[in-house]
Amino acid sequence: MSNKTYDLIIIGGGPGGYVAAIRAAQLKMKVALVEREHLGGICLNWGCIPTKALLRTAEVYHLMRRAGDFGLSAERVTYDLKAVVKRSRTIAQQLNQGVKHLLKKNRVEVFDGAAQLSDGNQVAVMEKGKAVATLAARNVIIATGARARELEHLKADGNKIRTYKEAMVPKEIPGRLLVIGSGAIGMEFASFYSDMGSEVTVVEMLDRILPVEDREISELAAKMFTKQGMTLITSASVSELKTGQDGVTATIEKEGSKSDSQIFDGVILAIGITGNVEGLGLEAQGVKVEKGHIVTDQWGATGQAGLWAIGDVTGPPWLAHKASHEGVIAVESMAGEKGLQPLDKGNIPGCTYCRPQIASVGLTEGAAVEAGHQVKIGRFPFMANGKAIALGDTEGLIKTVFDAKTGELLGAHMIGAEVTELIQGYAIAKTLETTEAELMKTIFPHPTLSEMMHESVLDAFGRTLHL
- Kindly list the catalytic residues: 446
Compute how many other C-beta atoms are within 10 angstroms of the C-beta atom of residue 446. 10
Contact 162, 269 (CB under 8 A): yes
* Close Cβ partners of 207 (under 8 Å, ≥ 6 residues apart): 234, 235
Nearest to 384 by CA among 436, 442, 451: 451
Compute how many other C-beta atoms are within 10 angstroms of the C-beta atom of residue 163. 21
The C-alpha atoms of residue 161 and residue 240 are separated, in whole angstroms, by 12
Residue 294 is inside which H or E element, if any?
strand 293-294
* Close Cβ partners of 224 (under 8 Å, ≥ 6 residues apart): 356, 395, 415
The C-alpha atoms of residue 230 and residue 367 are separated, in whole angstroms, by 29
Nearest to 171 by CA among 189, 180, 159, 179: 159
* CA distances in angstroms from 396 to 349, 357, 379, listed in the order given: 18, 9, 10
Under DSSP, the state recorded for 449 is: T
Name residue 177's amino acid. Answer: L
